[in-house]
Every structure is written in C-alpha cells, then in structure tokens.
Amino acid sequence: MPELLIETPGKQIHRRRIEELLNKSEGPIRIASPYITETDLLARLAQRDSRILTSTTPEDLARTSSSLSALGEILRLNIPCCYYDDGFLHAKVYIFGEKYAIVSSANFTKSALGENLEIGVQLDGAEVAELIRWFDGLWNPDQLLTIEELERIRPQVEAEELAKAAVPESQIEGWRFEKPAGNEQPESHDFVESEYPDSPELIIHPTSKLISLLRMDRPGWVCNTKREPPNYPLPIKLEELMRRRSLAATWQDNVAHKQMRLVQEDDLVLMHGNKGGADLPGLKNGIVGVGLAKGSSFQALDGYDPERLSMAELGDFGPSELEKHPEWRIGIKEWLFWDPKNPIEIDGTQNSFHELKDDRRKTVIQRLRARLAEQK
C-alpha cells in the first residue's frame, strides 16, 4: 500500500526514509531531481550502483536552486549523472532497487529533505517497475555529466549571477578605486581619495561580482586584521599595509597557520576588522576587504625578518606589539573589495584565520545585497 510522507520543517522525514530504504534495499539506486544541493548522502550512493538524472540550466544554478559544487562532488565520487535537456525536468523520484520508490515534491536538496514543507508517497508494488522503465527511458549516455561539461557551463552560470545582481555601476557602493592615471576622470562612479598618496592604484570590481563568487560556493577564508588595542595605536594602518603589499597576515594564533596552509589558488579571502570596542570609536565591525588568494603562497616569518609587515613603512611609527610574534601570511593576487571605513558589517570574529562557513557566507551576501538596494 502507498504510504504518505508528509515533511514538516525540522522533522527530516524524507531524509530518514531515504536512509532506511538505502539500508534495506538491494540493486541499483536511481534518483531523478532537477535541483541538487545535498552532499551528505552522496557517499552512501557511491557505495551502491547509483545513477542520478538532473538538470544543469545556468539559471537554476545561478539562483542556487542547484549547486555546481554538489555536481562536482557527484563526479568526484564517480556516480554516473546525466543532464536532461530535452525539456524541463521537474520530477522528483527516488528508486531503490526493484522493490521501493518515493515520488515526492522534495528535490535532492538539503532544504527539501529536512526544512521545507513537502509531501511524497512511498511505493512498493508494480508501480516501481513502471518507474524504472520511465527512468531508464530518459537515461541517455550521450548526456553524461563530465568535468568538461561543468567547466563549459560555469561561465554561463557566472554571467547569470552577475545579471541577477547587477545594477548600474554608478549605483554600486562596492565600486572603489584610486585616482586614475593621466587626465582620465571617472564618469559617475564613487571617487575615494587614498589615505596614502604613494599607494599603488587600486581598481575594485563591482559588488555584484563579489556576490556572484560567494554564491558559487567558492572556498573562502576569514582573516582577522587585528584592530583590537593595544596591538598598535593606529589600527587601520596595518590593514592598509596588507592592502598595499597584497597580503593577508596574522600573528599570535598558533592554529591560524594550519588553516592558511590549506588555502588554494583563487580562494576568497575576507579581511575582517573587529572594531575593538570603545577604545576605537567610529570604526565599524565587518569585512573591510575581499581578495583572491595566490596559490602556494604561505609563508612563516620569524623574529624581525626584513620582509615582515612593519609600521615603519608608514613613516614615523615604531614597531607594533604584533611585530614581536611570528608572522604567517598568504599572498593576494587581486583585491575585489576594499573599504575599511565603510565595511560590510557582520559580527566580530575571535579566530585569527578560519574557514568561511555557510551561515557566515549567507550573512555577507545579505549585507552586500542590502548595500546594492540602498543605492537603487
């Protein structure tokens, strides 16, 4: 007899039933779902003769209904996956061997399997054989997903991301740059004088591009810029040194360097300035800069290495307290955002350098979108 599966937020009824049927069934696993973000169950599927049928439209991937990173994990685990492009795939079907199946409104996503209000039905009769014939009829070996196919559609996804986030450049708060060369003047963009006239020119991309990169699940890291007193008397100065020398650096924290060693080429690095309490009035707490990391650029500098960051570079300033500690750093190949006096405001961070978690990523995206909305 068919059994109803009524999902309510937080109950994870679909997830638990899928795990149960994975344990009790034998034979191939077939999953059809247009949207995929669920990755925790993929390792279980990799242990079985599994196949996944999905959609790879750039529009869905751009709005994160589905996930490029989840599709990449499917390929990493060598789970055969076909993309359906002969129409719009909207069915959500889970088939376990030849005895059990679930037909549901729930996509193979984290939210659908445990957070959304969904409804489905579990079948264990002749209908299962009919569903197998339906699935196998749609399976097309010529449409197997490959790494090359993912890389082919990635630029389309990024273009869709930018299109969805875009507003006229003159209205984008995140567009920051130094004085242009020659007599060329900006049209209607914001113009920001550098606090240091000898600083190199800095071209910052529109905030919409940063939203795109964050939503693409690009690996990210948060670097605390150590504004807190009494580390140094002029807190923004050290941030400016890191910007000028294209570095993310930290001191004191004996765990930070282990995280820094994990940074890969083009990972996002978010420079986070803690405002430091009442001793530093007027400074906001948040992301002051975002850059793309250089690959294999980790360095550990001990003592008074001449290559270290030093307040002396800024003129009449003596060494800071931080210069007594080992310095760990990674290189930044390109800054995408830099605005220490008007940062992307988020809560403070105690760790010197750590991975950007999903909840924090969502907060940064929300703040960026709010900034764009204010300028419309």
Query: Band of the pLDDT at 367, cuts 50, 70, 90?
Result: confident
Could you tell me if 141 and 197 lie in one domain? no
Query: Band of the pLDDT at 350, cuts 50, 70, 90?
Result: low
Could you tell me if 69 and 126 lie in one domain? yes
φ/ψ bin of 130: left (φ > 0), alpha (ψ from -120 to 50), beta (otherwise): alpha
pTM recorded for the entire structure? 0.49
Could you tell me if 114 and 180 lie in one domain? no
Cα separation, 149 vs 153, whole angstroms: 6
CA pseudo-torsion sign 111, 114, 119, 123: positive
Q: Domain for residue 132, yes or no? A: yes
Q: Domain for residue 160, yes or no? A: no
Could you tell me if 182 and 295 lie in one domain? yes
Contact between residue 81 and residue 60 where contact means Cβ atoms under 8 Å apart: no
Q: Domain for residue 80, yes or no? A: yes
Residue 69 has pLDDT above 50, yes or no: yes
Could you tell me if 313 and 365 lie in one domain? yes
Residue 198 has pLDDT above 80, yes or no: no
Q: What is the CATH number of the domain that holds 89?
A: 3.30.870.10
Count of residues in the chain? 376
Cα separation, 132 vs 30, whole angstroms: 8
pLDDT digits (tens, 9 = 90+) for 295-348: 889 998 876 677 888 766 666 566 666 667 888 999 999 888 887 777 888 876
Q: Rounded to 5 degrees, what are φ and ψ at 303?
A: 55, -135
Among residues 133, 154, 175, the one where a domain terminates is 154
Secondary structure tally for the chain: helices H, strands E: 10, 15
Percent of the chain with pLDDT strictly greater than 90: 32
Q: Domain for residue 33, yes or no? A: yes
Could you tell me if 108 and 222 lie in one domain? no
Residue 187 has pLDDT above 60, yes or no: no
Query: Measured at the alpha carbon of residue 280, what is the angle toward residues 275 and 286, in degrees to the nearest 5?
Result: 15
Q: Name the domain count of the chain.
A: 2
Distances in Å between the Cα of 171 and the Cα atoms of 187, 291, 338, 345 are 12, 22, 17, 19
Q: What is the mean pLDDT of residues 125-150?
A: 92
Cα separation, 354 vs 257, whole angstroms: 10
Cα separation, 56 vs 62, whole angstroms: 10
Residue 311 sits in which domain range?
166-375
Q: What is the mean pLDDT of residues 57-79?
A: 84
Residue 125 has pLDDT above 80, yes or no: yes
Among 338, 315, 328, CA closest to 239? 338
The kind and range of the H/E element at 240 are helix 235-244
Cα separation, 233 vs 240, whole angstroms: 14
Could you tell me if 172 and 269 lie in one domain? yes
